Amino acid sequence: MRVALLAPLVTPIREPQSSGVTTLLTDLARGLQGAGVDVHVFGASGSEVDGLTFVDTGVDPAELAESLLRPLGGPPPPSEEARLSELVRRAFESAYAAIAGGGYDLVHNHAFDPPAIELARGLDPPVVHTLHAPPDHRISEVLSAAAGDPRPPFVAAVSRSQALAWAARNRIDGLLRPGVPTARIPWSARSGDGLLFAGRLSPEKGVLDAIEIARGSGRGLVIAGGRYDAGYADTVEGVAARASGVTLAGPLPRSELWDLMARSAALIFPIRWEEPFGMVSAEAQATGCPVIGFRRGALTEVIEEGVTGASVDPGDIDGARRAVSQLARFDRAACRRHAEQRLDVAPMIRAHLALYERLAGA
């Protein structure tokens, strides 16, 4: 079987990984390839991961930087929005032109820009769209249009909570739950005293809340993540510079991030949006690191409450601090077992293969 995976074009796929979507795509492509699938990943210029076949779409991600997903930010002015929409559309026209001539049996889109869904309607092979964001009216409109096609695409969510949220607007055909490569991830039964925040520096990830949680807990905090929203990142860096015990580590390659997780007392996950899945929370548990976060999105699907982590009401800084004060109740070996049994990449690969074979008639 020959499969094309289309990545978001706003960032390249390479280390350090810029998002959970690029992390998932890397593991998915590796797993499919290991199962004998001829898989090509179509990404922005600069994409490169050892052992994977990338097709350069010719899209410079820097040109699309202003179109980065900003769920807690306001829309740009109408004139600027029109300019950005045209840039994004041209980028995906380039990507699909490359895909159309590749003789693929199936195309799986992971980009969340409306043109990535709209332009796929003209392809000959079956199409799968995996949604990686909470409901959005622009994406909802193009999904509704595509649903009326003679051969509509298969639309997948990544968690039950995300599927339920989208189902109020659009048909969701199934779940393609992410997983993490636990066999490759080191873990430790012992940890240091410090806390960890891992994620991009953007408002919806809640890094400023992580700083407040750490400050009140008496523990140090390492922030591992790249600049995403420039203004917000400037604010985070300023607050971190004035806070005692806060270290900005920047974006880290996955192997280094896993080592840091294995040494951390807990991952702080104070999300301020409906997180569709939360790859770092799954990776943290695979290292033996429990997760303390706000009860939003799919967090309660990813952790085992009271065993591998704790969720508190959204915005409850004091509740998160209390959970940090009780870290001794979490068994790091239980965190690892939960990741191996419930969050591993193998079921993800099997689910994708079964879907691909059914849709492509293989």
- Rounded CA-CA distance 108/353 in Å is 12
The residues, ordered by sequence, that sit 6+ positions from 24 with a Cβ below 8 Å of its Cβ are: 110, 178, 279
Query: What is the CA 81 to chain-centroid distance, rounded?
Result: 25
Checking if the pLDDT of 85 tops 90, the result is no
> Percentage of the chain surpassing pLDDT 90?
85
Mean pLDDT computed over 307-336: 97
Mean pLDDT computed over 221-249: 93
pTM given for the model: 0.94
More confident residue, 86 or 209: 209
Checking if the pLDDT of 71 tops 80, the result is no
Q: How confident is the model at residue 269 (pLDDT cuts 50, 70, 90)?
A: very high
CA 225 to each of CA 229, 237, 247, 265, 294: distance values in angstroms, whole numbers, following the listed order: 12, 11, 11, 18, 19
- What average pLDDT does the chain have? 94
What's the DSSP call for residue 182? Answer: G
- Rounded CA-CA distance 108/119 in Å is 13
Q: How confident is the model at residue 63 (pLDDT cuts 50, 70, 90)?
A: confident
Q: What domains lie within the chain, and their CATH numbers?
A: 2-179+344-360 (3.40.50.2000), 182-342 (3.40.50.2000)
Q: How many CB atoms lie within 10 A of CB 165?
A: 18
Q: What is the DSSP string of 149-183?
A: SSSPPEEEESSHHHHHHHHTTS---EE----B-GG
Which of 51-60, 82-91, 183-192 has the least mean pLDDT?
82-91
Q: How confident is the model at residue 74 (pLDDT cuts 50, 70, 90)?
A: low
Beta strand ranges found along the chain (DSSP E): 2-6, 38-43, 54-56, 106-109, 127-130, 154-157, 174-175, 195-198, 221-224, 246-248, 266-269, 291-294, 309-312
Q: How many CB atoms lie within 10 A of CB 343?
A: 25
pLDDT of residue 65: 75
- Rounded CA-CA distance 265/287 in Å is 11
Locate 337 and state its tokens. Answer: 């077992």
The residues, ordered by sequence, that sit 6+ positions from 352 with a Cβ below 8 Å of its Cβ are: 28, 31, 32, 108, 176
Q: How confident is the model at residue 182 (pLDDT cuts 50, 70, 90)?
A: very high
More confident residue, 141 or 77: 141
pLDDT of residue 67: 72
Mean pLDDT computed over 292-321: 98
Checking if the pLDDT of 76 tops 80, the result is no
pLDDT of residue 325: 97
Mean pLDDT computed over 151-161: 98
Beta bridge partners of residue 247, listed in sequence order: 222
